[in-house]
Amino acid sequence: MKLQIIQVGEEVLRGQARDLSREEILSAAIQELIEEMRKTMRTAPGVGLAAPQVGMPLQLAVIEDRKEYHAKLAAERLAERQRKPIPFHVLINPRIVALADETVEFFEGCLSVTGYAAVVPRARAVTVEFLDERAERRRVDGAGWYARILQHEIDHLNGVLYVDRMRNRTFTTVENLERVWKELPTAEVLNRLKARR
Here the CATH number for the domain that contains residue 57 is: 3.90.45.10
**Is the pLDDT confidence value at 180 over 70?**
yes
pLDDT tens, residue by residue, 9-28: 999 999 999 999 999 999 99
Per the structure, how many domains does the chain have?
1
Quick check: 62 pLDDT over 60? yes
Q: What is the pLDDT of residue 74?
A: 84
Q: What is the mean pLDDT of the chain?
A: 95
Backbone angles phi, psi at 135, to 5 degrees: 65, 25
The predicted pLDDT at position 197 comes to 54
Residue 196 has pLDDT above 80, yes or no: no
pLDDT in tens, 44-59: 999 999 999 999 999 9
Q: Which of 105, 153, 178, 183 is catalytic?
A: 153
What DSSP element (H or E) covers 49?
A: strand 48-50
Domain assignment present for residue 68? The answer is: yes
**Which parts of the chain fold into alpha helices (H)?**
22-26, 28-43, 75-81, 145-157, 174-176, 186-192
Measure the CA–CA gap between 82 and 89, rounded to whole angstroms. 19
Categorize the per-residue pLDDT at 73 as very low, low, confident or very high, splitting at 50, 70 and 90: confident
Residue 2 lies in a domain: no
Percent helix, percent strand, percent coil in the chain, to nearest 5? 40, 30, 35
Q: What predicted TM-score, i.e. pTM, was given to this entire model?
A: 0.95
Q: How many CB atoms lie within 10 A of CB 42?
A: 14
The answer to whether position 197 is within a domain reads no
Does residue 87 lie within any of the structural domains?
yes
Q: Which residues pair with 116 in a beta bridge?
A: 173
How far apart CA 18 and CA 134 sit, in angstroms, is 18
Please determine, for residue 195, whether its predicted confidence score (pLDDT) is greater than 80: no
Q: Is the pLDDT of residue 69 over 80?
A: yes
Active site residue 153: yes
165 falls within a domain: yes
Domain that holds residue 35: 11-192
Mean pLDDT of 97-103: 96
